[in-house]
């Protein structure tokens, strides 16, 4: 937020560290990444790192929050409408679009070397879409399980799509997911 009114040096430091984190997380789990390795790859002094972040996780979480904020900003004009009937697929398309434009980042943040926090954020966002269910013959608990089933299924498709290079278009993907739900 208001990253642009920051000192260039600060911007540079944080950018290099974030990039380094993404590169390392392609190879290893977040909690096995040392601050030392991170700083060496980013060519940033270790004491500078600690001036910005507490540890690797802190850096990851700040990245996650920034991405989510940015994503929500990109959805701002479709989200309020999402409670009528046609909007869900529109929201989905937008999410897939945004993810495709930032696929390297999304692949890492949603991949198995990350923590579950980002995944939870995305789930929360997409439950607006996947939780609509007007079958009243089912009890509440069964419905809960169904929502769980659906959202996990969606996320998993999302991950597969990212991992395999976002071959399909955003439209194709949102249609596929829309049909499955």
Which residues have C-beta within 8 Å of that of residue 77, sequence separation ≥ 6?
none
116 is a site residue for a second copy (CB under 8 A): yes
Of DNA, a second copy, none, which one does residue 157 interact with (CB within 5 to 8 Å by kind)? Answer: a second copy
Q: What is the CA radius of gyration of the chain?
A: 18
Closest to 109 (Cα-Cα) out of 148, 66, 152, 72: 66
Nearest distance from residue 45's CB to DNA, in Å?
3
State which of positions 3-32 bind a second copy (CB under 8 A): 29, 31-32
Of DNA, a second copy, none, which one does residue 153 interact with (CB within 5 to 8 Å by kind)? Answer: a second copy
Query: What is the contact mask toward a second copy in residues 123 to 162, using x (rule: CB under 8 A)?
Result: ------------------xx-xxx-xxxxxxxxxx--xx-
User: To which residue do tokens 């980002």 refer?
Assistant: 118
Tokens of 66: 């920034």
User: Which residues would be at the binding site for a second copy (CB under 8 A)?
Assistant: 29, 31-32, 112, 115-116, 141-142, 144-146, 148-157, 160-161, 168, 176, 180
């Amino acid at each position: 937020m208001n990253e642009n009114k920051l000192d260039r040096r600060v911007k540079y430091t944080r950018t290099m560290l974030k990039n380094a984190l993404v590169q390392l997380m392609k190879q290893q789990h977040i909690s096995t990444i040392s601050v030392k390795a991170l700083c060496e790859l980013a060519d940033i002094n270790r004491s500078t790192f600690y001036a910005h972040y507490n540890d690797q996780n802190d850096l990851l979480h700040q990245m996650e929050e920034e991405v989510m904020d940015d994503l929500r900003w990109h959805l701002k004009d479709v989200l309020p409408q999402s409670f009528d009937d046609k909007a869900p697929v529109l929201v989905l398309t937008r999410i897939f679009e945004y993810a495709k434009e930032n696929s390297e980042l999304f692949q890492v943040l949603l991949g198995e070397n990350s923590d579950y926090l980002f995944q939870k954020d995305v789930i929360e966002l997409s439950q607006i879409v996947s939780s609509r269910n007007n079958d009243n013959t089912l009890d509440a608990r069964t419905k809960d399980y169904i929502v769980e089933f659906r959202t996990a299924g969606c996320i998993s498709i999302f991950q597969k799509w990212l991992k395999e290079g976002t071959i399909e278009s955003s439209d194709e993907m949102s249609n596929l997911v829309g049909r499955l739900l």
